[in-house]
Every structure is written in structure tokens, then in C-alpha cells.
A and B are shown apart, each in its own frame.
Chain A
Amino acid sequence: MSEQMDQVLAEALEAIQSAETPEALGDVRIRFLGKKGSIQALMSAMKDLPKEEKPAFGQQVNALKAEVSEKLEARRKELEAGALQEKMKQDALDITLPGEKLETGTIHPLILIQQELEDLFLGMGYTVAEGPEVEQDYYNFELANIPKDHPARDMQDTFYIDPNTLLRTHTTAMQMRELEKANGQLPIKLICPGKVYRRDDDDATHSHQFMQCEGLVVGEHITLADLKGTLEYMANTMFGAGRSVRFRPSYFPFTEPSVEVDVSCPFCNGKGCSVCKGSGWIEILGAGMVHPHVLEMNGFDPEKCSGFAFGVGLERVAMLKYGIDDIRNFYTNDLRFLKMFDRFD
């Protein structure tokens, strides 16, 4: 009998292995495990055995049955996995086709620079001031220590509206409003970005409209060295780590001492290149200590406090940072230009 059993097992394993489809495997199951299957036939043969052999024989048949079932199940899983694999293969995608055109828009490069400056100074506890573009002569010039007929007015050709009203020529006008508003209260710590206007013919390097961002700090012990440190921090944030800052003497009516500020060239690391015209330095902004007369006119005592101010042209920064060669690009708003600023940098 045991030979017979071995033979059934061998046949079953052979049939299971040969079944290539779930249907064929079903047939195999019926052939061996069905009511009329070969294993059931062995079971039927048990009744002819002597009583004492029956239990052992029964166990052997059950073991055979269990083994065949197990192999059937394993083969079924194998076939299913194969079928799934085949189906997935047929569902293959050409991953090189483009994705859906889900694009995002762009923030104007001047605004990108403005926001970058805002974030940098917000982090140092500055607030962001605002003020009118149609401004009074008083805030734009008088309070900024540029009285009528002062030669410094020639430095900034002004769009006048009437003798007392103009388009602000610098964001300094906002500084003056903030100083006046503070009414002698310290400290003051703010930046004031915005559009400004001067009578310039538009060309590659001039624009009758442009953007500035000025900063103003007034407190009890503010020094020129603090100005240098602040601007160095700004240069490192805007143009990458490792920038150094150089002061050159200059003149602005509302600061004394006044300085032009150069930043070590971020393109050649100060070695000299076409951007910095070989000097290793790029002139980036004007700055100085708030003129004591400006403090006095706004109700501050220059013996008890001091302050620094600086002003940077956003077009200048953007042109340097992105290598833009014509200032008119900012105001033409060509879509191809706008789309270049599609990421944070």
C-alpha cells in the first residue's frame, strides 16, 4: 500500500508542478483531492485492511493529503504572483513622457529681493515701514537736511507736482516720517522699502522709476562700527557667506559721516573679474551716521542718542545677483524674463 501512496504523491507533485494556469491547477486539485480523486480512492481502500493497520494507514493518507494541499496552495500563489507580474508589465508607463503641466507662477525679482531683505531684517528685530510715493517736499528734502536751493538737490532730479509736493526721490522720506512719528521715543529700528522716482531718461542703466530699501537704527549707543557689522551681515545673506565690506568716504546731506559701501565681489571672491571691473569690490550702497541736525529737527537729542542709516537700490542688487544687464527688463515684464525667477535662490 505504501508503494501505492508514494506513487500517488509522485504523480500529484508532478501534476502540480506542470499546471501552468489556475484552471489547470483546479483540475489537479479535483484529480487528487476530489471526492473521486486518487487520495479518496486510497481512503476507500482502507476498509479492506486489517483493523490494527487502519490507524497507521489513516495517518499516512492524511499526511499525504496535507502535503498535496500544501503544494497546491504554494503553486496557486506562485501562479497568481506570475499573473500579477504579467498584468503590471502590460500596464507599464513611458516615464519619460512629461508630467501634467502643473506650473507655478513667479514673484517679480524686485519683490523677491525686497522680501529677502525684509526677512533678513525682521530676524534682527527691525520692522518694515511704509509711506506715500506722492510725498511732501518737507519729508523728502527739508527734514532730510536738504533745504530749498541746497546744491544736493541737484544730485536728485525731482518730479515735482507743485512746489510742495513731489514723487519721492528716495525712501529717506519714509525714514523722516518714522523719526517724526517716534516723537523722541527710542529705540527706532526699521527698514523702508519702496518705489522712488527721478528725472532720468530710461536706458540700460537708468530708470525714472526704481526701488530702494533703506534702514534706520537710532538708539543710545549706536556706532559707525555697528553699521559696518550690520551691512556685513546683510551682504553675507544676500550674496553668500564670506563677503566683507569696505567703507569709502562720501557725502549725503542726512548723514555725517557718510560712506559709500563696497562688498567684496561675490563672483570672483575679491580676486578681480569683469563684474567688479578687476577691483575685487562692488559698490552696493550708501550709508552713514544720522546727521545730528536731522536728529534735532525730528526731536531727538544728538548728545543722548545716535543712529545709522543705509540705503540700497533693489535693481542694483537684483542685477548683480542675477547678472541682469538692462534695468528696463524689470519694467517691461516680458513673460520669458519673469519665468526665470521660478525658484528661491
Chain B
Amino acid sequence: MRLSYKWLSEYVDLSGITPEVLAEKMTTAGLEVEGIEPAASGTNLVIGEVVSCEDIPDTHLHATVVRTGDGEENLHKIVCGAPNVRTGLKVITALPGAKLPGGTIQARPVRGYDSNGMICALFELGVDRKFLSEAQIAGVEELPEDAPIGETDVFGYLGLDDTILDVSLTPNRADCSAMWNMAKEVGAILNRKVTWPDYAGKSDQGEKGTFKIASTTEKCPLYFGKVVNHVKVGPSPKWMVNYLHAAGMNSINNVVDISNFVMLETGQPLHYYDLAKLPHHEITVVDDVETKITALDGVEFDIQKGDILITTGGEPTGVAGIMGGEESMIDESTQGILIEAAHFDQASIRRTSIRLNLITEAAQRFTKGVEPLSCRKGVDRSIQLLEQYADASGFEATEIAGEEVYEPVTVTETLSHCNALLGTSFTMDQVKDVLTRLNFAPEVEGETITCHIPSYRTDMERDADVDEEIIRLIGFDNLASTLPVMETTVGTLTRPQSLRRTIRTVLTGMNLHEIVSYTLVGEPEIQGAFEPAGEAVALSMPMSEARKYVRTSLIGSVLDVVRYNEAHSNTDAGYFEISKVYSRETEQERLAVVLDGSLMKDVLHKTSIPGDFYAMKGILIALLKKLGYTASRVQVKPNKTDIEHFHPYRSAELWIDKNKLGVFGDLHPDLSAAYDLKNVVYAELTLDPLFAGRTSRVKFEALDRYPSVSRDIAIVVPASTTAQQILDSIRKAGRKLVRSSEVFDVYEGEHVEKGMKSVALRIIYQASDHTLKEEEVAEAHNAILESLRTHLNAQLRA
């Protein structure tokens, strides 16, 4: 909120407290001041009179002489471009050296004429244009006839000698958006006396009239209506205009301004109706009507059932607490008014104002809550000001629909509980002093303090609320730093948490980079999801088409990152992401790994690891082992489930035990093309089975004590024969003597018959209890060769 220092000082003694000091003390106490600015600014200003004004030929300029006092030295030649400058006009003059918001004024010739200063418009002194008339913006400010020539305290004369503090109020302190309550708060912070105007009982005058007020909804539990038969509409006093401007509101006329001014003072939104435009002399508040209403600014709004509506004679005349209707608004012809001060349901006003996008000053106040006694305050203060500034008379007795219910709130707290919660050792005197400054009228009985909460502090409900008041006003500087003294607890990571860390360690060790991408994706990503977790969760009001769904798979986001990096020449890299994915039914945790180009490439040393299918397979198998799943539990099976994202002949399913984790392999050429990528290998796995499964225990095996024998063989087999088939055949036929066997070369092409391939293997023979004899090895080796011939049609190459 915009807080006028000058206005505040009408209620609370601010002597010796500069706006800067005030701002710091308020911030320390929880009312954060985000900015300090003068209401208007400029130096070297003086009030003068234009004593001569001549047009400069062929320009819009005028050569003027401005008198700012007696004697030759107070006559200033100034060239001025404003259309309204003329002889006899009283003006604000900025003399050479004046520092204005737009810059410094210097004496210099214009078109050959001397110009020793500037005649000012208010906006040139920093006054917001929204508060100025078209004429005030088009020309220089026209001061009244009786403006004192030679006066240098120009802002004092204009009433703009003020400073505006921009205060950020937390939602619990909405009470401080009322100036009177803000004054009480500042008084408590500064320990200064606060005086509210003597307004009480001002609306008691008047006989009962004929105007009827009714409410048919619980959402309007209280409605004060007061008829004022005579008012005189005219301009507002200058001080009121300045205060409204300081608060960011415009001045309309004295009557409308008083309604706004009293709202700013008391926090109670008020609405004044033109009495003549309510011929039925009746107001009924309803919430069960569907209709349309034209508001003060001429725009039409749809009213639904549930919205609180002000009606008269069965016709709507305002959206309660938000905006008045056009037909009953105050204008120059208004002779009498009805004052409305009511309580409307906070939640209902909030919903309606958000739906209609009408976040008015009144709606904001109702939304944040008004205090129980504010209706009466608002009507009393209205009558007081209307009598003083709008010649109000002809009052009728206040009509009240509903009951003015107010149960004073008391909160009790003990000194020991307060100190125990805060970790402080405040004395009763310190605590009592703070609560007294806050007008909580503390009553102390032994350890116990009973606070009598003022009506406007609706945020004070219980002991903890009072404790906060105590610490914030005594000051957080008084707080020690300690660590909790409590039962010992054990801090450990859960299995998924520590496995995630292992995944990061392994994959970053293999030169992959972790990414974090957006959860929200668009329709294409949902359509193109890999094994989606289920039906996508859709936002009810997305901010854009591209961020409409919660992702059901990682592939779209991850490939986007690859595409981005390729487009920025960040080539030859691998990435991974660990993230939850969601569907309407379930959540899953997934790991995506993507290889874009070489995993490692060193031209100088002529070494490289291409980021291909086999690199991915190696990475995943190594990862699974580190996570506790030995090779014997891992199966790589032909990809039978997803040929939409993957190249059908260069991809595979990855399983552990009986659980399929996902698929890895070359991207399908169509998908690659869609993302403008080449040679990208992708894997997406579900981690949940890994987190849930049992790990293979580490078990010691005695080291071999007897030598091993190795034999290399080269066989030619049909090209469709897999390495696994050959290895399985070797393992079976070789029985216990084969310690290991591995493929070290595969060759197709010249020297090998078409449709066949040559495979070279090394077989290691070893026994754990003796040195192998030549005959033993030969026997096993021959059995293997025989088996390969018989079962796989293998021919032994020379």
C-alpha cells in the first residue's frame, strides 16, 4: 500500500522521525517498506507571475518575463512552449540550477531569446499524470490568483510536501490498509501516542424514515443504510485530494471522495447511491439471481447465482462489495444520498471479483476481511465529513439489516510458555510493555497474561499470535542461536535415495551429464510418450499449449534438450535425467539416458568410444551391476514392444529377473528426423523395480591356484546366429572346465560366404582343484567344436 507520511502524522506523533527512520523501524517490525518516494520533487522553485508574454514568430514558443519578487533581479526571462501561458498567470518557476525529476534546468538561449528557467507543469515535478486533468498535462500549472509571489516553499503551498512509503502488507495484516489502524501499529512500534478523530456517534442523528433495507442471504449478515437527503456536490478540499492522490486514488467530487477517504481511513468499503435514482426507497441484498449488470465504467457483467447482488425494486443496482451500478451513481446533479456500509462474505467476494476480473479497492478489502465494528465507524465518519465538506443535512435514522454482533476477543498466554516457545527469557515487564503499546490492555495475574484484543486485530486468535507480537516488537536481535535438545535420531537415506546417488555417480563417471527438464509438456509429447505411465494428467487452466499436461514419459523433454544442444553446436555428449512421471492412476520414477555422438573421442591419441547401441548397453549393464544386479540377473531381449520410438533391429528390451525395465537402442529414423537428430541412442527405464528388488550379495570366492589354458577358435555361422547362442552352446558343451568365453571378433564380407559370418572366440579352461592335463582340455575343446557344428551349423575356420 501507498502510505502518506504526512497523512499518518495527522494521527500519530512523528516528530523527530524521518520517513527513512520510520521505514526502517516498520520493516524491522514486519511491515516491509519496499520504497520511499517524495510526493513531488524539485529544487530552486519559486512562485511567480507572468508579467509579459510574447509569441516568438513561426514557433509555438512564447518569450515571457516572470516576476518572482520586487526589483530587477527578480524578473526572469523565460521561453515557454505551453499553450496556456499568458500575462497575469501565477506559475511555478524553476530557476537555473533547479534539479527536477527530468534533469537540471540551465540558463541558455532558445531561438536567440534568453531563457533563464522553466515554467512548470505538475507532472514535471513528479506528480503522476493519472491524477492530472488533460489541461494540466497539456500546459503549465495555473496557480490561483492569490498565490503568494516569491514563495519558495512551493510544495508546502501545494500540499505536496509529503513522502510516500510503499508498504508491503502480509495477508494477516490487512487491518493496516486502514490508515487509522496503521497509525495504531506505527504508534506501537515507535511507542508514540495515537489520536483518532472524534467521530463516534456522529450518525446517531435523524428520525426514522421510509427507506427499507433487507438482506435475504447469509453472505450479507450486516448492512447499514443511511439516508442523507441534502448534500452539495462540489470540489474536495485540497488536502483531501492530496491524500487521495498519495494513496493512489483519483479525486472525483467531494461526496465520492469522502466515501473513498473514509474507506482508506477505516478500512470499511462504502458505497454512496444517488437517492433520487432509488425511487423504490428500498434495497435488498440477494445471491440467487442470474442477470447482467452495467457497472460504473459502462462495462456489462454477467451475474451468476451465488454472486452477492444489491437490488432495488427487484432490479440489480450493484455487485455487492465490488462495484456500483451505473444508473445510481453520484454526479453533479445529486441532491441526496444513501450511504451503504455492509459486511459481505469474504470468500464470495473473492470468487466473484476474480471471475469478473474486477479487483477493485473495495473488493480487495472485503477479500482480505474487514473488522466487526467497521460499518458503524464508516457511517459515523462519513456523516462527520459530509457535514463539514458537503453541507450535508436532512439525515434519517440509520437502517440496519442484520445484527451488529461483536464478541470482544481475549487471548491468554503465560510468560513461561511464551519464553519456552521463543527460547527467550523476557521479563513480565518487557512483555507487558509491548502488549500495552499494542492496545491489548494486558491483565497480569501471576504468570498469566490476558489480552483484550482491539476489534481491528482480527489476526489475534491464540497464544502463538501474541508471542509473535512480543518477539517482533521487542526485536529478533534478542534471540539466541541454539540447536534443538532432543532425543537422538538417525539420519539415513532410504534405498531409492541412495540408489539415485549411485546412478549419478556411475553415469557421471561415464561422462554423462545430468539434466533437469520441465514436467509440464504439450499434446505432442503426450502423444509421443514412451510407454506412458497411463492417461495423462491435464491442467484445468494451462498457461500455454506447450505446458498443458504432466509428462507421462521423459523422451520428449530429453530429446528437446539434445535438439537444443545440437542447435548450439554442443555435440558429442551424453545426458541423463532422473524424474517422476505421472498419470491419472499412478506415478513412476524413470531414468532416461541419451547418447548424442561420441561418448569419448580423442583425435590426437586416436582413441574413441562411439556413443552407439553397444556403448549404451555397456553403460546400462555396468550401472545395473553397481546397483546390485549381477549380469546373470540381467537380460537383454529383442525389442518386441516399442518400434515407434526405436529402430526395430537396433534396439532391445532390458529386464532384471522377471521385470522389464524399459527399452534402449537407436532412435527410429522417423523420430530422429522429427527432432532433426542423427545417430542418437536412447534408453528409458522404470526405476521402481530396481528400488524394490533384492540386490545380489557380494560373496568371496577362493582365488584360482592352478593355471588356466586358453584356446582361440574361429567359426563361420549363419549371419542370423547370435553371440549368445554360440556362448550358450560353448558353456553347455564345455561343462565345468570352461571358466569363461568371449567373442573377440565378428566379421562379415569378403572371404566369408554371403549370409554367413565369421566369429572369433577365446575360451579359457581352468579347474579349481588341479592343473589341467593336455588331454582334458582337448576333450572338452573337441566336445565344444562338435556341439557348435551340430547345433549351430558352425564350420571351423583354419
Contacts and interface: CB of A to CB of B under 8 A. Distances in A.
Nearest to B574: A105
A291 B464 contact: yes
B491 interface: yes
Interface stretch (A42-50, A51-59, A169-177, A229-237): A229-237
Name the residue among A125, A189, A257 with the largest chain B CB count within 10 angstroms: A257
A117 B302 CA distance: 51
Top 4 A-B pairs, shortest CB-CB distance: A225-B423, A223-B423, A249-B30, A149-B347
B508 A223 contact: no
Given A100-B602, A101-B600, A217-B484, A248 B423 contact: no
A167 to B, nearest CB: 7
Nearest to B484: A226
A115 B514 CA distance: 14
A167 B550 contact: yes
B703 interface: no
Contacts of B605: 100-101
Interface string A237-254: 000000001111111010
A225 B479 contact: yes
Given A103-B511, A224-B479, A333-B564, A149 B351 contact: yes
Interface stretch (B58-66, B263-271, B536-544, B663-671): B536-544
Interface string B458-492: 00001111011001100010011111111111111
Nearest to A163: B540
B483 A233 contact: yes
A134 B535 CA distance: 14
A197 B520 contact: yes
Interface string A256-284: 11110000000000000000000000000
Given A149-B347, A338-B515, A160 B30 contact: no
A224 B541 contact: no
B539 A333 contact: no
Interface of B: 27-30, 32, 170-174, 346-347, 350-351, 367-369, 420-424, 462-465, 467-468, 471-472, 476, 479-494, 496-497, 501, 504, 507-520, 537-543, 547, 550, 561, 564-565, 568, 570, 573-575, 580, 582, 587, 600-602, 604-605, 607
B476 A221 contact: no
A332 interface: yes
Contacts of A40: none
A160 B570 CA distance: 37
Contacts of A98: 604
B172 A251 contact: yes
B514 to A, nearest CB: 4
Interface of A: 97-98, 100-108, 110-111, 115, 118, 121-128, 130, 132-134, 148-149, 151-152, 154-155, 159-162, 165, 167, 186-187, 189, 195, 197, 199, 201, 208-209, 217, 219-226, 228-230, 232-233, 245-251, 253, 256-259, 289, 291-293, 302, 306, 330-336, 338-339
Contacts of A162: 540
A128 B496 CA distance: 11
A220 B484 CA distance: 10
A250 B580 contact: no
B493 A108 contact: no
Main secondary structure of the interface of A (DSSP, over half): mixed
Nearest to B568: A334
Contacts of B29: 249
Given A149-B347, A161-B537, A257-B472, 12 more contacts: A105-B514, A106-B513, A107-B508, A130-B496, A149-B346, A162-B540, A187-B486, A221-B420, A222-B484, A223-B421, A259-B476, A333-B516
Contacts of A306: 420-421
B480 A225 contact: yes
17 contacts: A105-B514, A111-B514, A124-B491, A125-B489, A134-B537, A165-B537, A217-B484, A219-B487, A224-B421, A225-B479, A225-B482, A228-B482, A251-B172, A289-B464, A331-B516, A333-B515, A334-B565
B417 to A, nearest CB: 8
Nearest to B488: A125
Given A220-B486, A335-B570, A127 B492 contact: yes
Name the residue among A105, A123, A127 with the largest chain B CB count within 10 angstroms: A105
A335 B597 CA distance: 14
B367 A256 contact: no
Nearest to B509: A104
A332 to B, nearest CB: 7
A84 B602 CA distance: 32
A22 to B, nearest CB: 36
A306 B485 CA distance: 12
Contacts of A217: 484, 486
Name the residue among A128, A226, A232, A333 with the largest chain B CB count within 10 angstroms: A333
Nearest to A99: B605
Contacts of B351: 149
Contacts of B172: 251
Contacts of A123: 491
Contacts of B491: 121-127, 189
Contact of B484 (A151, A230, A232, A247): A230
Given A107-B508, A122-B493, A151-B367, A226 B483 contact: yes
Nearest to A199: B543
Given A127-B491, A209-B520, A229 B511 contact: no
Nearest to B598: A101
